Amino acid sequence: ARAVHLKDYAPYPYLLDDVSLQVRLDPKATRVVSQIRFSPNPDGPAAGTLRLDGEGLRLIRATIDGAPADVTVDDHGLTCPAPATAFDWECEVEIAPADNTALEGLYMSNGMYCTQCEAEGFRKITYYPDRPDVMAPFSVRIEADPATCPVLLSNGNPTVAGDGWAEWQDPWPKPAYLFALVAGDLVRHADSFRTLSGREVDLGIWVRPGDEGKCAYAMDALKRSMAWDEAEYGREYDLNTFNIVAVDDFNMGAMENKGLNIFNSKYVLASPETATDRDYEMIEGIIAHEYFHNWTGNRITCRDWFQLCLKEGLTVFRDQQFSGDQRSHAVKRIDDVLTLRARQFREDNGPLSHPVRPESYIEINNFYTATVYEKGAEVIGMLRRLVGEEGYRAALDLYFDRHDGQACTIEDWLRVFEDATGRDLTQFKRWYTQSGTPRLSVREDYTDNVYRLHFRQETPPTPGQPEKGPQVIPVALGLLAPDGSETMPTRVLEITETEQSFTFPGQETRPIPSLLRGFSAPVILTRQSTAEERAFLLAHDTDPFNKWEAGRTLAKDVLSRMVTDDAAPGPDYLSALRRVTQDDTLDPAFRALALALPSDDDMAQTLTDSGVTPDPLAIWTAREKLSLRIAEELSAVLGDLYDALERPGPYSPDPKAANARALRQTALGLLSRIDGGTRAQKQFAAADNMTDELGALACLIRADGGDEATATFYRRWADDRLVLDKWFALQVGYAAPADAADVAARLTQHPAFDWKNPNRFRSVIGGLGGNHAGFHAAGGAGYELVADWLIRLDPVNPQTAARMTTLFETWHRYDADRRDMMRAALERIRATRGLSRDSAEMVGRILG
């Protein structure tokens, strides 16, 4: 397969004035007729040849201005001579949605038709210039058997409909990747929203019959998102209708098709009995994310797929802002940084490291990564910090003003910031073009009341980028006095050089620095510091992120020394933890985060960074030991908290109640290590909501496998697909290291293991990959099992298989035995006959 390069971009030779589709649905023989008005693109290369993308289509006929077109069809599309003036193209193709297991293009899920076109799925529906810079208004006519498909949906506004057919019109020019079509037996949870300028919008969440009682929270989140985008960004919704459809078989979280968002049902359906607090939070965030794309992605889209971060980084940033506003900024920031480190730092420190704006790809679906999304959002957070809140708002206003209706680039994006604020962003742009996580180290000195900080930055080599230039790093800094008071409130230092120093005169005592407040840049900061000082910051820092970070660093030091020297946890850490746990002025969710230990994967990377080869079992053992030690040390405090945090009355997903449950569950997790499981048993039996039920089950599985509770849970929830996913995932995720691969293998034999469903596949195979010590258990059974299943999934669903090859992306960290076994598993995948382009690219890059 050939690579596509950013530098080769050229505009399309034609403009599309109008697109009209007619889709006659049939599981095995759907007919799609497309009528397109083409005219020469004055800003494009010479017209005269028509090139359209198309894959797996049976061409029935094609005409230009009514006469048969002289088409040459190949594996990727068709070519034909065409006028250099405006003309009408018409073509008919046949496709078989029932045979589409890849879940890209038009496919079927539980008897329902649905689509997924981003990035390049539209070419599996009809011949078309399937690229984001080709935008056109669409009208769509759908025809289907009214007995099985009474509901027919597409983008835009509904126009006319009858028995077995419906027509939709989308006035906003859009690229094909935002096309959507849904048909099936669906019920609608209806509501409405009045926009800023007083327009009424019909809102609908469409689900399978039986699920209509689980839509209220998603609808509420949608309305809050719509109001928030008006208030914070001045962005109003632009159609009469906004629909969301929940689908069980879906490769990712959700998709922002214009006016017709399609969601993995996991991120729509919620009831207290079946969804956890975490599920509610994810639903809120993803509903918001997809809705926000209406402006950042749809009205202003990407010129080409290299610019993916233009819409994704910005939209993630916006959904993070929204969730922070709805809940707690401090807790949200800590959560986001945890995700960033777990996924993006992991990616950036391995063979898959790539810039936020990549320069080449073989399969674009492989670039919907943590780097494009999460680091993409961090880059915008830094921009906002550098230009200030007002500068940011001015730049965004200019962006919407100048680029509405266009397909843009990162250069366009940076230009609006330069024009709105007068700032030169030439160096800043390196955040988009250089890969790798910058290392920032800091030394300090203090003489004659003058305090100095000396920074040094360095970004290690990454694939294809041996050398890097210094980046602009905003470091938010505060200074504290030894009595805990703040002597200098937060200010932002701008580091632009490889080495740079800052001076703070007039310091009567040696200050204690609180560096990189709010995690103001996605870098790895190193600084020599003592356990006492970290405990001091954990107790006194006024910046909540750094307060948490101090505890996290302490925990990492303790765990590292337990792994390398078998050292016992020191008293500084335990007493600091006790103080935080007892401090009722702190948000319970913050306290839960402070009590949580770093993940095994995080510790493996931390040890690697300090030159130690990680031993997965030793890490797991140390973490178990430390958890037990914390439980023993804090047993009384935790027992009191567990009792005090019990809230009478019915479950409510509101943040306050959820935060209390988060701390209560953390307490339970620790207490169940020393109470023989009595609390967990009781909570499991009494639970009236999934958060409590699943939390208790996790403790019971970890303690002794939890066979009885596991069986009870299965009997209770055997008919609920989403709850069953949790049941599968929990057993694999909490299995002891030596058993995990066996547990996973046994579960793949379970009659409910429907491996073609991506959620189910991820819950078991992804669950094993997420059990660090289990996946990496000596002998390599985990590697073997994952490789077997990826080989099996690849021909059925290449996108999901390829994504999960990232379970192996850290192979270089480990000892020679494990490295050899992981490499062998990857080689075995690579050698598979007919391996997809998706997986071939991933495995090739991981092996290096």
Residues involved in catalysis: 290
Nearer to ligand B3K by C-beta: 290 or 378?
A: 290
For 329, 583, 680, the CA distances from 537, given in Å and listed in that order, are: 19, 15, 34
Residue 30, CB half-sphere, CA atoms under 13 Å: how many? 31
Nearer to Zn ion by C-beta: 374 or 557?
A: 374
Residue 471, CB half-sphere, CA atoms under 13 Å: how many? 27
Say how many residues touch Zn ion, by CB under 5 A: 2
CB of 254 to ligand B3K, least distance (A): 6
Please give the residue ranges that form the binding site for ligand B3K (CB under 6 A): 118-119, 252, 254-256, 289-290, 293, 312, 365, 368
Nearer to Zn ion by C-beta: 78 or 310?
A: 310
CB of 367 to ligand B3K, least distance (A): 9
365 binds, among Zn ion, ligand B3K, none (CB under 5 to 8 A by kind): ligand B3K
Nearer to ligand B3K by C-beta: 166 or 372?
A: 372
Q: Which stretch binds Zn ion (CB under 5 A): 309-317, 480-488, 671-679, 782-790?
A: 309-317
Q: Is 258 helix (H, G, I), strand (E, B) or coil?
A: coil
Which candidate, 342, 343, 339, 371, places its Cα nearest to that of 358?
Answer: 371
Which candidate, 111, 249, 114, places its Cα nearest to that of 758?
Answer: 249
Distance of CA 841 to the CA centre of its chain: 21
Q: Copy the structure tokens of residue 78.
A: 């068709």
Nearer to Zn ion by C-beta: 376 or 767?
A: 376
Per-residue interface string for the shown chain with Zn ion, residues 442-481, x marking contact by CB under 5 A: ----------------------------------------
CB of 252 to Zn ion, least distance (A): 9
Nearer to ligand B3K by C-beta: 243 or 365?
A: 365
Q: Which stretch binds Zn ion (CB under 5 A): 66-74, 136-144, 212-220, 306-314?
A: 306-314
d(CA 202, CA 193) in angstroms, rounded, equals: 7
What does DSSP say about strands 486-495 and 473-480: parallel, antiparallel, or unpaired? antiparallel
Q: Which stretch binds Zn ion (CB under 5 A): 52-60, 143-151, 304-312, 401-409?
A: 304-312
CB of 143 to ligand B3K, least distance (A): 28
Which candidate, 310, 351, 316, 366, places its Cα nearest to that of 436?
Answer: 351
91 binds, among ligand B3K, Zn ion, none (CB under 5 to 8 A by kind): none
Whether the CB-CB separation of 822 and 810 falls below 8 Å is answered with no
CB of 834 to Zn ion, least distance (A): 31
80 binds, among Zn ion, ligand B3K, none (CB under 5 to 8 A by kind): none
Nearer to Zn ion by C-beta: 315 or 459?
A: 315
d(CA 247, CA 260) in angstroms, rounded, equals: 13
Q: Which stretch binds Zn ion (CB under 5 A): 90-98, 305-313, 420-428, 451-459?
A: 305-313
Q: Please tell me the total number of residues recorded for the chain in this structure.
A: 848
CB of 230 to Zn ion, least distance (A): 20
d(CA 276, CA 690) in angstroms, rounded, equals: 5
Q: What are phi and psi of 246, to 5 degrees?
A: -100, 130
In sequence order, the β-bridge partners of residue 202 are 192, 241
CB of 286 to ligand B3K, least distance (A): 8
What does DSSP say about strands 181-184 and 151-154: parallel, antiparallel, or unpaired? antiparallel
488: which residues sit within 8 A by CB, 6+ positions away?
Answer: 477, 478, 479, 504, 511
Whether the CB-CB separation of 204 and 244 falls below 8 Å is answered with yes
Nearer to ligand B3K by C-beta: 133 or 633?
A: 133
Which helix (DSSP H) or strand (DSSP E) does residue 300 occupy?
A: none
CB of 516 to ligand B3K, least distance (A): 28
Which candidate, 206, 289, 199, places its Cα nearest to that of 239?
Answer: 199
d(CA 592, CA 671) in angstroms, rounded, equals: 14
Per-residue interface string for the shown chain with Zn ion, residues 261-300, x marking contact by CB under 5 A: ----------------------------------------
Return the ∠ at Cα 711 (arms to 592 and 249), rounded to 5°: 75
d(CA 475, CA 520) in angstroms, rounded, equals: 6
CB of 118 to ligand B3K, least distance (A): 4
36 binds, among ligand B3K, Zn ion, none (CB under 5 to 8 A by kind): none
506: which residues sit within 8 A by CB, 6+ positions away?
Answer: 449, 450
Residue 554, CB half-sphere, CA atoms under 13 Å: how many? 29
Nearer to Zn ion by C-beta: 312 or 374?
A: 312
203 binds, among ligand B3K, Zn ion, none (CB under 5 to 8 A by kind): none
Amino acid at 362: I
d(CA 93, CA 668) in angstroms, rounded, equals: 59
Distance of CA 848 to the CA centre of its chain: 25
319 binds, among Zn ion, ligand B3K, none (CB under 5 to 8 A by kind): none
Neighbours of 712 (CB within 10 A): 15
Nearer to Zn ion by C-beta: 159 or 339?
A: 339
CB of 261 to Zn ion, least distance (A): 11
252 binds, among ligand B3K, Zn ion, none (CB under 5 to 8 A by kind): ligand B3K
Q: Which stretch binds Zn ion (CB under 5 A): 197-205, 221-229, 313-321, 715-723?
A: 313-321
| Chain residues in the site for Zn ion (CB under 5 A) | 312, 315
